Amino acid sequence: MNLFLKIFFGEIVLLSDRKKTVGCGKNKSLIIVIMAFVLCLPVRGYSTEKIFRLSHDDYKPFHWYDKDTQETRGVFIDMIEEILGNRLGYEIVYTEYPWKRAQLQVHNGKEDAYITTPTSERLKYTEVGEKPLIVMQKAVFTYSNNPKIELLRNIKNFEDLRQFEVLDYLGNGWGKKRLVEETGISPDYSPSVDSVLKKLAAKRGDIFIEDSTIVNYNIRLLGLSKKIVELPVILEATEFKLCVSKKSSFKNDIDKIDKIISEMVKDGSLTRIINNWK
């Protein structure tokens, strides 16, 4: 609304497309009501609070909506709260969708960003900074006292996995591409990460390959810390970054976000957040 109020000694002047003057005699009460109404109208573009909208899926322990606490939780949520909330002063709104829709919302500019691995397709409609929030490490896990433990410790690449019984979960896109399509391995599938870990703990497979943070979080929840061990083998490292829609005004803040991430790496706060979820 292109409307300004100007008060001069008992009269109020309203300036818009046409200039009108209203006397203040017996209509003083009416004018006060009008002034209060106009001043309370929201004026687009003049909000002092910036609202950042993060689109996400159910991806424990990185981000998910906890129905019990009715809060959005996770590693990435703690990072975003610190970076955008505490250090940049933004209000943050989280919305959970199925993963394909979460990406589409950012593609269409209805949400500001999501967090994932930047790909050539995603970079067509998002802007990313140089600094990752986390480098996910595809680690190798096996059951305690596996008689093949020495062979497992000597795994160097994907080809070395062929001699072992590999466990995986349905819907794992990374596993489908790297294990099945590129390496020719036929994993023994389970419905979910926790069901894979239960099978591994029961010695019904040799190895499970997944990000260390994800597996350690679920091992702790399932009480399997003494039955499953992480091997000193990292097959692949993948950077996860904040991907901001090109249609969002927050794309202009990427340099600020990069700077804060660098500061958090130096002061150790980023690592502490990750460790809190292991």
Cα–Cα dist 109/107, whole Å: 6
Question: What integer pLDDT is reported at residue 47 of this predicted model?
Answer: 39
Q: In the chain, where does DSSP find H-type helix?
A: 28-40, 75-80, 99-107, 149-153, 173-175, 193-201, 212-222, 254-267, 269-276
In a structure prediction context, what are the per-residue pLDDT tens digits for the chain, which is 278 residues long?
433 333 333 333 333 332 233 333 444 454 444 445 544 444 333 334 589 999 999 889 999 999 999 999 999 999 999 999 999 999 999 999 988 899 999 999 999 999 998 988 899 999 999 999 999 999 999 999 999 999 999 999 999 999 999 999 987 878 888 999 999 999 999 998 899 999 999 999 999 999 988 899 999 989 999 999 999 999 999 899 999 999 999 999 999 999 999 999 999 999 999 988 87
**Distances, alpha carbon 112 to alpha carbons 125, 189, 261, in Å:** 11, 35, 18
What are phi and psi for residue 166, nearest 5 degrees? -95, 130
Percent of the chain as helix, strand, coil, to the nearest 5: 40, 30, 35
Are 214 and 193 a contacting pair, CB within 8 Å?
yes
Structure tokens at 94: 């989280």
pLDDT of residue 10: 38
Query: What is the structure's pLDDT at 172?
Result: 83
* Calpha distance 12→24 (Å, rounded): 7
Query: CATH: 3.90.45.10, 3.60.20.10, 3.40.190.10, 3.30.750.24. Which one for 51-133+240-276?
Result: 3.40.190.10
pLDDT for position 49: 59
Q: How far, in Å, are 11, 44, 63, 145, 221 from residue 22 at the CA level?
A: 6, 26, 56, 89, 70
Q: How far apart are CA 236 and CA 14, in angstroms?
A: 66
pLDDT of residue 119: 86
**Are the C-beta atoms of residues 109 and 245 closer than 8 Å to each other?**
yes
DSSP reduced 3-state for 184: coil
Distance CA 141, CA 153 (A): 10
CATH 3.40.190.10 in the chain, residues? 51-133+240-276, 135-238
Q: Which CATH number fits domain 135-238: 3.40.50.2020, 3.40.190.10, 3.40.50.720, 2.60.40.10?
A: 3.40.190.10
